[in-house]
């Protein structure tokens, strides 16, 4: 009996350790989702107040790339080294993502944060559609998911056309860019270290937004106190810390579990927009948002079956 009890103790201890690790992983995951969720309403608040979106992105992405590079250099410097193929593809993906970030922020000049957050939640549908071009089997269920998403967009925009169509087009352009970036990483960089790829993507994003700033005339628009606070929060909380939390969470609970929190992030963004920006949605728009979130959940489940590596599909965030 004593031998049996002694043998059971290590098993019980291992089970307790596993549960503790899982619970801590979920705490990290929820914190990461909350960190990502503040980006859209915060950016909308300062952009609607007159802040230049390109200038804001230069500070946000540049500071985040610097912080991540320093962190990797001080903790795991070997992860800064990558072969030419990894660097080239990461830079290409980051360039596409920089276009997506620019169009997303331009969209926030015209659309409320809650609207933009709901629209960008269709991203998994875009990823699935691009995977179909690579040979992923298209089923009637994909058609159903796409129909749900399109119906949701129609209801969200409003049958009466009250929403700025240019703003919607900017957000949808961002959605396409984010989807292209994700499938590029999945197709060509699946076996590389996520932090290494993330760093080089952020470097390319920084270069991309700086190039756009130069094309716009290289005029530095003063951020002011409010703008600097917003830029630092966006860089440190919603870009740098959120990704570190994401990597830590994925290592504990897995990318599939983390991916299922994407709708939670969307709902949190809408909640912050309601609480702090005074935004509201009509009943029809709520119905549209619900259809979009439902189609996104179905698409995320399908992406798991399609073996789209979860760690890549998680961090193309606004």
Q: What is the pLDDT of residues 176-201, one digit of tens each?
A: 998 888 888 878 887 888 889 999 99
Cα 295 from Cα 152, distance rounded (Å) = 9
How much is the average pLDDT of 275-290? Answer: 90
Residue 310: its pLDDT value, please?
Answer: 45
d(CA 50, CA 39): 17
* Predicted local confidence at residue 311, as pLDDT: 46
Question: What angle (nearest 5°) sits at the alpha carbon of residue 309, between those of residues 147 and 173?
Answer: 45
The pLDDT > 90 percentage for the chain reads 49
Average pLDDT in the 20-46 region? 89
- Model pTM score: 0.85
Measured CA to CA, the distance from residue 274 to residue 260 in angstroms comes to 23
Average pLDDT score over the chain: 84
pLDDT in tens, 38-72: 999 999 999 999 999 999 999 999 999 999 999 99
What pLDDT, on the 0 to 100 scale, is given for residue 56?
Answer: 97
Q: Report residue 255's pLDDT band, with 50, 70 and 90 as the boundaries.
A: low
List pLDDT tens digits, range 256-268. 566 667 788 888 9
**Per-residue pLDDT at 299 exceeds 90:** no
Per-residue pLDDT, 111: 95
Q: Which of 65-69, 120-124, 174-178, 214-218 has the lowest mean pLDDT?
A: 120-124
Is the pLDDT at 152 greater than 70, yes or no? yes
**Reported confidence tier of residue 312, pLDDT bands at 50, 70, 90:** very low
Q: Do 28 and 248 meet the contact criterion of CB atoms below 8 Å apart?
A: yes
Cβ 102 vs Cβ 58: under 8 Å: no
Q: Which of 81-90, 138-147, 161-170 has the least mean pLDDT? A: 138-147
Q: What is the dihedral of CA 60, 246, 74, 76, to 10 degrees?
A: -140
Residue 282 CB neighbour total at 10 angstroms: 12
Going from the C-alpha of 6 to that of each of 11, 13, 19, 254, the distances in angstroms are 9, 11, 21, 32
């Amino acid at each position: 009996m004593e031998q049996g009890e002694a043998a059971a103790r290590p098993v019980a201890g291992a089970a307790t350790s596993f549960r503790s690790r899982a619970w801590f992983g979920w705490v990290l995951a929820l914190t990461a989702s909350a960190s990502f969720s503040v980006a859209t309403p915060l950016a909308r608040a300062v952009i609607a107040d007159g802040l230049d979106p390109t200038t804001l992105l230069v500070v946000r992405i540049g500071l985040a790339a610097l912080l991540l590079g320093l962190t990797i250099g001080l903790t795991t410097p070997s992860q800064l080294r990558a072969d030419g193929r990894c660097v080239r593809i990461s830079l290409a993906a980051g360039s596409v993502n920089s276009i997506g970030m620019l169009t997303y922020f331009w969209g926030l000049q015209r659309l409320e944060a809650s609207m933009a957050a709901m629209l960008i939640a269709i991203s998994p549908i875009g990823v699935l559609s691009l995977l179909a071009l690579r040979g992923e089997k298209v089923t009637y269920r994909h058609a159903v998911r796409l129909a749900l998403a399109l119906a949701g967009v129609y209801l969200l925009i409003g049958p009466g056309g009250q929403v700025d169509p240019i703003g919607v087009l900017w957000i949808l352009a961002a959605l396409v860019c984010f989807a292209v970036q994700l499938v590029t990483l999945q197709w060509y960089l699946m076996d590389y270290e996520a932090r290494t790829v993330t760093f080089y993507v952020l470097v390319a994003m920084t270069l991309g937004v700086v190039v756009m700033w130069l094309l716009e005339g290289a005029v530095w628009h003063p951020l002011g106190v409010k703008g600097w606070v917003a830029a630092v929060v966006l860089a440190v909380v919603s870009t740098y810390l959120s990704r570190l939390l994401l990597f830590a969470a994925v290592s504990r609970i897995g990318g599939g579990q983390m991916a299922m929190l994407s709708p939670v992030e969307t709902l949190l963004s809408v909640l912050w927009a309601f609480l702090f920006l005074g935004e509201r949605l009509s009943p029809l728009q709520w119905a549209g948002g619900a259809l979009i979130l439902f189609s996104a959940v179905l698409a995320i489940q399908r992406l798991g079956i399609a073996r789209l590596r979860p760690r890549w599909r998680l961090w193309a965030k606004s």
